Structures are given as structure tokens and as C-alpha cells.
Structure 1
Amino acid sequence: MEPRDPVILLIDPANSRNGRRYKTAVHDLGFGVVSVSTNASSSVATVPAHTDGEMSFRVSDVDDAVRQVGEAGLNPRAVVPARGSTVHVADEIAARLGLPGNDPALGWARRNKAAMRARAVQTGVRVPEFRMVRSPGAVVEAARDIGFPVILKQTMGSGSYGVTVVSDAAALNEATEALKVDRHDQPITEWLVERYVRGREYAVNVFSAGGEHRLVDIWEYRQPDGRDYDFPLWDIIQIDGDHPDYLPVEQFVKQALDAFGIRHGPSHIEVKCGDDGDDVYLIELAPRFSGGPAVPMWTRHSDLRPFHDAVECYLGRRPRMIDGDHGFRAVLGSVVIRNDEAPGTLVAMRGLDELRALPGVADVLVEFQPGDHVPITNHNMCIPVSASVYGPDRATVLRTIAAAREAVRVEIAPDAACLAT
């Protein structure tokens, strides 16, 4: 890399599963990579000045990033966030450098659940009735005011961690007690209390280029029964344009992206369509790729080049996927084998070979080994088994998902405390 060569700043690529893929895309597009590790990415180890011929440096904040870019004589053409947790930092750096990015003034609204709801109300984006509170006692008061069932959320949580649906007052105190610390055992100082919406839930993936939004796909979260839930992943499958919720969801999501100042790059949005009418509600919004199986499946079963397309968007260009056909050659889905019974010790995981041998099954992920403690599956980081599923049509994918569930048996010895009750 020579001085003044055009480069792309890749924010927090270390310890990100997307970091290497973004680097490959950047190089394929003819740019050098400069890896920037931010203070907000605490899990990243100290980065050497150069790695494999690429410049890397650590910054303490946005001001420090801008200063170091200037002092190094770099010629940045884009700022690309590799980690979802620091997308807001990338937006601020891009704005300071005069490069394409999403509105930095709305970064907090795209990151914090309470600020997200406040922005939605301000801009007419429909959200469930909610309260943001700062004490366990206020959680109780807010829940009673809104009316049961409610769903409690940490305002800075992710992957469904710290999300609990509460059906009545009797369960409220227990739920509140369990939400006093986050997954890093740090005290929680604010909670979102929200009306629980009964209905169909969808994950929506979109690319934006210069403020124009192109829907990639919509995935339906299917549940095993009609009970209220706080963890959405069970059976997941794409819906198509013939589905009655497809067009309303697409229109709603594009409205939300505009309201939250998203103009460039990929976004992942979760919405619910209420059973009490045709209303669509915003549940979550993030200017990043889906954390599930969608992106790697796109690369195998469509004409999309997700990371190349994303870099093009951050460069302020208009990738072909904004206007062209995405060329999907299969219907995509996923199966999630949960532990819904009781926490305990894993005795055996049976049927994995049969699962891997099923036609239309790929990317089998196993989180636990015999002897490991397996909690109740209530967030993305404690799923015993999951797999990507694909097929020529929706009916085939649903049959494969059912066959996958029949194949796998997770044997868990419940904790003594659970047996005692």
C-alpha cells in the first residue's frame, strides 16, 4: 500500500465473522484495507501496526480516528462497519471524513431500544405501546399500566438476551429479578416495558444505496404452537410476494429506514403483523447484516455478492443488486433445535449424522458437547443445534425442517433444583 492509494476503513473487523469476508470484497474491488479497532470493541486484542501488509490501528474515539487517518496520510473512500455493535461509530467517522454513511445524529436511535421507540413515535413509525424505566419498581408500575401480557427488554441487549414475556402480575417480580444484570454480569440501569403483540413475526433484509432501499428477502419466524413467546427462533423460512403480509411489510420497512436515516448498506429489521388487524409494528432495526444463516445462504443460492454489494453501497455507488434480479435458485430456511424443558447437563446429542445427511440441509451448528451445562434456550447464544435448510419450494423446505426435528434428539439430565420442583 502506497501513500495516497485509495483505501477503505474497515471498522472492528477482528473477532467478527464478517471481517475477513469484507476484506476479500474490498480487495476484489481494487482498494486497500485499513483496519480500525475502536475502544467500543472491548473484545479485540491489541492490533499491530501492520498485518499481512495491511495497515491497522487502534483508536480511542471518533476524534482519534480522524486524527490518525490524517496523520497517516490516508486516502479513504469509504467507512465500512464489520461489527454490528459499532455501526454507530462507523457512521460518525464517515460523517467527519465527508464520506457516505448513515445519519450519525440518529445512531443512538438505531442502537438503543428505548431511543428507537421514541424516534419511531416522533416519525409516525408504528411501535407497540411502551415505557422506558430505570428501576425494578418502575418496571412493575409500567407493566400494570400497559396491561398484560408485556415483554421486558434490556435497552442495549442483542440476540434476544434479557428479553422476557410476562403474562400476568404473578410472574412479574420473578422476571424483573432475573433482569438485573446483563450477559456480562453488569448491572442494568434501564429497561423497556412494551405491550406484547400477538401475531406473525418477520425478519426483513434490505440494502440501501443513496437512500433508495431494495428488499432482498423476508423470513417468517414460525413457532411450535400458539403460546406467547420471547425467543422467536424455531422454524424460519422465506416468504414470497404472494404472501399477504409481503407487500405491507416491505412498505412499512422502507418507511422505517427513511425515518431512521439509513441511506447506505445492509439492514436487518424485525417486525410483527398483529392478529388484531393488518397493522405492522417495528420490533427491532439495525443497519447491519442478519446474524443468522441468511447471508452465507445468499452466496450459495442466489446471484447476490453480499459483502461486495455492501462495500459498493458504502462507497456511494449503486450496486447491480439494487435494480437487477437477485437470482434466487432455492427457497431458504433454518431449523433451530431448542432446549425448552429445563436447564441441565447434556448427556448425548443423537442424530447429528442423520441431520447432516438429509438432502437440503447445510451448515449444521452444534453449540454444546456432552458434559456441558445447557440452559433453557432463551437467546441466540444458547441454541443446542441449528442448521440451514434449502429446497426448490416452500413445501419441500418445510418437510425438510420437519425431518430435521425428527432426526435430532438432545438428551439432557435436568439440574437437581429442577427435579426438586
Structure 2
Amino acid sequence: MHYLGARDNAPTWLAVGADEATLIDDPAPGTVISAAKAIHVERAFGVALSVSDAYVEAAAVINESLGLPGNGPGVPRAVNDKARMREILRDSAAGAVVAARVSTADEVKKFASETGYPFILKPVDGSGSFGVTLISDADGLGDAIARTVGATAVAPENTWIAEEYLRGPEFSVETFSADGTHHLLAVTEKFKGPNFVEIGHLVPARVSADIVRSMTAEVNRCLDAVGLTEGPAHTEIVLTDKGPRIVETHCRPGGDGIVELVRLAVGLDVQRITFDWLAGRPLNLDRASEPQSAATWFLTPRAGTVSSVSGLDEALSAEGVTEAHVTVAPGAVISELRSSSDRAGAAIATGKTPDEALRRAREAAGRIEVTTEPTS
């Protein structure tokens, strides 16, 4: 494996996890594409792959220009632009979701007058729940516009999507596709905190087999519509009273440790499956003979300046815990929970049942105390 990435953000595992590495000072997608082509001239590679939303399109451009396998650039362009994805799904067999691309306050007001409340406003290219805003009624419309569309009015290239608010529990469906066939790996149950930030995940989700089949069918319709034929995908879905509806999809594995939850729970290693596919080996989708459950719970301390961190060793020693970490230290400033980057760590635990795994993960996270003081 040849790793190509930014010098300032090089992973610690490079020395043992990569055969070769090329580090560049300018990580812009165009620079990455040029560097990859130069590498291919010196030592041809079989395919380019990225698990980051920022570079999945660059990887697709590299593959297409070099005649290598994989999804075409149109796929990441569709899924990374949430408004474009909605436009594509509107003409597909997927369940209908009312949505519109908006970039001005008047366009948001027009959407509100035509569709009513509540509705969601979010960046078309956002990630980690950043900027997701629920507009519940007309009284909150002006303030929401000021914090979103109004705040970026000086940059016309910044656009947003307004879409109907999907009511119901949220899940993600983890899949791997080969030659246009989408294989279900797992369904993840998701837990949300303030501002729609994800604070926990559970595999497998506590839903019936019939519901799993209906969600999987909806995801397959979505992936077919956007043209995804190869590799991992992570599709978020809400189970509404009208059936499953797509929130968004990604042509990469799920983040937030979901890959590890799937491996622990059902024995399917998305990374190994991906590299087997890249190497041209047959897909091995055999599940664990004794499946279990796995959950992660995130630390969401109060906003402020961190004064102390304790309890990590106690969390790591708790029954069923496979991993626990903290991402802040004394002196760090924690913001109000508005995106995934505002979380302060997590704990992962396994159990014989989903309830047991979830309880253990939550209890382990609860043993870690991140104390904060008001930031002056």
C-alpha cells in the first residue's frame, strides 16, 4: 500500500502500516490528483481509495483518468452534495423527501411557505452534524436564517439544503458493493444529542428482520440511483411512519468507530473486505459463528475550559469494554455540542445482547469524568 496525504496530518501508523508513503505540503484535491498520477508513472498501483469525504472524489478522478476500477467521479459528486443527492433520488424509486437547494433568505422563506414546518436547514456539503438546524415554526425562522444562510451571504458559493424534517428513530446501513450488487454488512442504531450530534451507536440495531429488509431495500434503491457499484457505503436512514427514508449516503465506511462495532458484533471487517476487493480476491462475507453486540458512547461534557480528566483506567477495566479514549486535556476549551468535533472521547463495549452492550458502553463512558470551568 502506498499512502498519499498531507504532511501536517500524517497518521502515526505509517511506519508499520504502509509499504510506501508520499507526504505533500498542499493537500488540495488537485495537488493530490497530480501527485497520484506521478506516483503511478514511477510505480503503477491498482486503484486509488479514500475513506475521507474530502478526497473520495479525487480518488475517483484518479481511477477514471488512469483506467482503474471503482466508482466514477459522478458518484462522490452526487453524495457529497446533499441537494444534488435529493435531486437524483426525486427521480428514483426511493421514498420521497421534499427538499430544495437554497442560498438566500428569500429562498428559505419560500420553502417554508410552500412546505410548512418543521423543516431542516443544513449545508449541502456538511459533515459531522455541523450546521444542521431545525426550524420548528415561523417564530424561529428569522434567527435560523441569520445563523445559517444569512451568515454566509457574503460567499455566494456557500449553499444550503432545506428539507422536510423526518420524524422517527435514526439508523445507518453499512454495505459493501461489488459489480453493482450491494451486500448488507450491518444496521447501526444511532443516538442523538443536542443539535442532532451523534452521541452513541449500537450494532446490531434493535429492530425486526422485516424492518431490516425494508431499510436495506430502500438503501439499495438509493445506491442504485446515485450510481454506486463498488466499495463500502454508509447510508443514514430514518424510520418514519411512512416507512424508511434516506437522510444521506456516503461512498465510504461509517465513521465514529462504526467499522469497529461491525467487526466486533458480526465479524465482518470492512477494512479487510475492502483490501480483498482491491486485490481482486473473492469477497469473504462470512459472519462470526457466534455473533454478539457492540456499542459506543461518546463523552459530551459541559462547555468550558477543561480543568481535569479522570477515570479512563476505570473505564478500560470495566466488563466488556474493548476501547476507551479521551481527546481533551486540561486547558482545552470545549464548545457547546454543535458537531462531532465537540465531543471529548468515547468508550466501546461488547455484550451478548444489544441492551447489554449499550449499557456497558454508557456505564464505561460515565466513569470518565471531564471537569470543565466557565471559559473567561
What is the rounded CA distance, in whole Å, between the counterparts of 1:169 and 1:158 in structure 2?
A: 26
SS in 2 for 1:371: coil
The partner residue of 1:333 within 285, 295, 298 is 295
Residue identity matched to 1:318: P
Displacement of 1:329: 4.0
What is the rounded CA distance, in whole Å, between the counterparts of 2:213 and 2:22 in structure 1?
A: 39
Bigger mean CA deviation after superposition, 206-215 or 11-20: 11-20
- In the alignment, which residue of structure 1 is the partner of 2:329? 369
- For normalisation by structure 1, the TM-score amounts to 0.77
- In the alignment, which residue of structure 2 is the partner of 1:251? 217
Displacement of 1:198: 0.8
Residue identity matched to 1:94: N
Does the 8 A contact of 2:97 with 2:245 survive in 1?
yes
- In the alignment, which residue of structure 1 is the partner of 2:172? 203
Residue identity matched to 2:38: Q
Displacement of 1:294: 2.1
Displacement of 1:217: 1.0
Does the 8 A contact of 2:128 with 2:339 survive in 1?
yes
What is the rounded CA distance, in whole Å, between the counterparts of 1:308 and 1:367 in structure 2?
A: 27
**Greater share of helix:** 2
- In the alignment, which residue of structure 2 is the partner of 1:152? 121
Is the alpha carbon distance of 1:314 and 1:179 closer, same or farther for their aligned partners in structure 2, counting shifts above 3 Å? farther
1:323-361 CA distance string (max 9 Å, x none): x2255642011112324x6x4333444544433332122
Output aligned runs, 1:16-415, within 5 Å. Answer: 20=14, 24=17, 35=22, 41-42=27-28, 60=31, 62=33, 64=34, 68=38, 71-72=41-42, 74-179=43-148, 189-223=158-192, 230-238=195-203, 239=205, 242-274=208-240, 276-277=241-242, 279-299=243-263, 303-321=267-285, 324-327=286-289, 329-339=291-301, 343-349=303-309, 351-404=311-364, 406-414=366-374
Displacement of 1:119: 1.2
SS in 2 for 1:89: helix
Displacement of 1:78: 1.9
Is the alpha carbon distance of 1:407 and 1:182 closer, same or farther for their aligned partners in structure 2, counting shifts above 3 Å? farther
What is the rounded CA distance, in whole Å, between the counterparts of 1:17 and 1:146 in structure 2?
A: 46
SS in 2 for 1:109: helix
Bigger mean CA deviation after superposition, 142-151 or 365-374: 365-374
Displacement of 1:223: 4.7
Residue identity matched to 1:91: A
1:136-192 CA distance string (max 9 Å, x none): 332233234322111111111111111111212222222222225999x98862111
What is the rounded CA distance, in whole Å, between the counterparts of 1:151 and 1:18 in structure 2?
A: 38
Displacement of 1:388: 1.2
Residue identity matched to 2:236: E
1:240-296 CA distance string (max 9 Å, x none): 67455211111111221122221221111111111x23x211111111111111223
What is the rounded CA distance, in whole Å, between the counterparts of 2:2 and 2:161 in structure 1?
A: 34
What is the rounded CA distance, in whole Å, between the counterparts of 2:115 and 2:249 in structure 1?
A: 23
Unmatched tracts of structure 1, length 5 or more: 1-7, 43-57, 417-421
Residue identity matched to 1:388: I
RMSD of aligned residue pairs (Cα, Å): 3.4
What is the rounded CA distance, in whole Å, between the counterparts of 2:216 and 2:328 in structure 1?
A: 37
Is the alpha carbon distance of 1:18 and 1:68 closer, same or farther for their aligned partners in structure 2, counting shifts above 3 Å? same
Is the alpha carbon distance of 1:110 and 1:299 closer, same or farther for their aligned partners in structure 2, counting shifts above 3 Å? same
What is the rounded CA distance, in whole Å, between the counterparts of 2:350 and 2:151 in structure 1?
A: 35
Is the alpha carbon distance of 1:65 and 1:352 closer, same or farther for their aligned partners in structure 2, counting shifts above 3 Å? closer
Residue identity matched to 2:247: I
Does the 8 A contact of 2:133 with 2:195 survive in 1?
yes
Does the 8 A contact of 1:162 with 1:179 survive in 2?
yes
Does the 8 A contact of 2:297 with 2:361 survive in 1?
yes
What is the rounded CA distance, in whole Å, between the counterparts of 1:365 and 1:141 in structure 2?
A: 45
Does the 8 A contact of 2:118 with 2:136 survive in 1?
yes
Is the alpha carbon distance of 1:346 and 1:299 closer, same or farther for their aligned partners in structure 2, counting shifts above 3 Å? same
Is the alpha carbon distance of 1:187 and 1:328 closer, same or farther for their aligned partners in structure 2, counting shifts above 3 Å? farther
